[in-house]
Amino acid sequence: MPRYALKVEYDGGPFSGWQWQDDRPSVQGAIEAALARLERGVPRIGAAGRTDAGVHARGQVCHCDMAKDWAPGTLMNALNHHLKPSPVAIVAAASVPEDWHARFSARERRYLFRILNRRARATMEAGQVWQVQRPLDVDAMRQGAAHLVGRHDFTTFRSTMCQAKSPVKTLDALDIAEVETGAGREIHVSLSARSFLHNQVRSFVGTLEKVGSGSWPPERVREALDARDRAACGPVAPPQGLYLTGVGYPEDPFA
Amino acid sequence: MPRYALKVEYDGGPFSGWQWQDDRPSVQGAIEAALARLERGVPRIGAAGRTDAGVHARGQVCHCDMAKDWAPGTLMNALNHHLKPSPVAIVAAASVPEDWHARFSARERRYLFRILNRRARATMEAGQVWQVQRPLDVDAMRQGAAHLVGRHDFTTFRSTMCQAKSPVKTLDALDIAEVETGAGREIHVSLSARSFLHNQVRSFVGTLEKVGSGSWPPERVREALDARDRAACGPVAPPQGLYLTGVGYPEDPFA
């Protein structure tokens, strides 16, 4: 069966997450419903990152197996037609080898977390950022974040529901940028790693907000990491600021 | 009565426009309802730009007259509290002299029009951009736009409903930028003038889209302008891409 890689963008707001659930709307369910309009009996699809309820994606990647040969552009347009009016769009499609796997072939996941740091409530950005009203000290956040980069036991920063076999992961990058937007000041936390633990990014960001607002000294991030204890983590940041921005493969299927 | 200038941000989507209407939700109505929670009998408020249905604002300015003396920050916070959950926020407040007028004291209005230029339907940006699927030639758009800058009779580019006494206005700037965003390519059209005619920006943008897509040669913008005939205008671009970004005064009341 010909296999296709799909790059997917979505507003996670109306969904219970990526993963199919029989009683609630999911992004996987929306795409599978669109595929079912094209061919009967299309197998389940798998994605590189199973985003949680409310988390958005700019560059989620999944793959699907079709019975017929489709020109990738035709497949993309047909899926987008049937995805209407869901806030889900296929932004790229490519033919891939039959042993290519969106999840297992991936070598890198990239996330962005957007904090809107202003007093007045978000209007246009509602549902697309985490709004923090207290002014955040970005230099202090960067000092705290420096402790997290590299290979560590991240037990403190993973959900108790996390199903990964090991809490040891390598965080390749965690960069914090200040961005002036039409709405004021945003703080963008960008992260990349081969893979992430469940709730790891939101646990990082909630902890770094404690540092930025002055509640925690930056060194307390190191102590929290060393504790290897979920109870040492700061609050988990809310999902609506989080974006899966991209997935890296040995060769970019969409290039 | 002490007078206050308010800088207002809103998502125009759910509103019939800035201006109060007795049977439909308006931004003015939302702010006046919040004011009525603070004091009885607050007079009607006036704004620098009466945005149409669906048009957004980052920096609309209005003024209000209060019976009591309010610290501007307290007034802003109280209004924002009562504006919930409307997508309207007061982002700055300032005391101004009693003869200061949001509309008549203004010397400049600034607008931004966002075009999302990609094939796949917008998800996160739905309602915040005009999506154009055909690739647009920005250089051609700039050539067309050059004809519009300066002092002209803009009869072609104003709504037949426009109530301005004269169609002669001076367009101080019309800049077109290409911006790479998480969602792909956006084209940002930024404009400034002392004042604009009704539907002028959307008439410009709809006309320039004809040029960018290759349907019109750039010189046809000049011919349309010279015709001084509404029928010579291109289509009017939809409201959801338009933002009132700021209003200029001899002295910035919020500085």
Q: What domains appear along chain A, each with residue ranges and CATH number?
A: 3-105 (3.30.70.580), 108-246 (3.30.70.660)
Exposed (0-12), middle (13-18) or buried (19+): which is B25, by Cβ within 10 Å? Answer: middle
d(CA B184, CA B161): 36
Diameter over CA atoms, chain A: 58
pLDDT tens by residue, A48-63: 999 999 999 999 999 9
Instruction: Show the DSSP H helices in chain A as ranges.
Output: 27-36, 72-83, 138-146, 200-212, 219-227
- Tell me if B218 sits within 8 A of B94, measured CB to CB: no
pLDDT tens by residue, B220-253: 999 999 999 999 999 999 999 999 999 999 999 9
**What is the reported pLDDT for B182?**
86
A80/B120 Cβ within 8 A: yes
B56/A118 Cβ within 8 A: no
pLDDT tens by residue, A77-109: 999 999 999 999 999 999 999 999 999 999 999
Residue A134 has pLDDT above 90, yes or no: yes
A121/B84 Cβ within 8 A: yes
d(CA B193, CA B245): 12
Tokens representing B190 are: 């930024």
The β-bridge relationship of strands A108-117 and A130-132 is parallel
**What is the reported pLDDT for B36?**
97
**What is the reported pLDDT for A1?**
87
Q: Which of B87, B89, B123 has the CB atom closest to A9's CB atom? A: B123
Contacts of residue A129 in chain B, CB cutoff 8 Å?
none
The alpha carbon of residue A97 is apart from the nearest alpha carbon of chain B, in Å, by: 25
Residue B84 has pLDDT above 90, yes or no: yes
- B60 contacts chain A (CB < 8 A): no
- B177 contacts chain A (CB < 8 A): no
Task: Over range A19-47, report the average pLDDT.
Answer: 95
DSSP, res B48? S
Report chain A's mean pLDDT, rounded to a whole number.
96
Contacts of residue A87 in chain B, CB cutoff 8 Å?
123-124, 126
- B14 contacts chain A (CB < 8 A): no
A118/B88 Cβ within 8 A: no
Rg of chain B's alpha carbons, rounded to an integer?
Answer: 19
Tokens representing A200 are: 């790891």
- Chain A residue with Cα closest to B123: A87
Q: Which of A10, A124, A126 has the CB atom closest to B56's CB atom? A: A124
Measure CA B185 to chain center: 22
- Per the DSSP assignment, residues forming a β-bridge with B117 are B132
Q: Which of B83, B87, B123 has the CB atom closest to A10's CB atom? A: B123
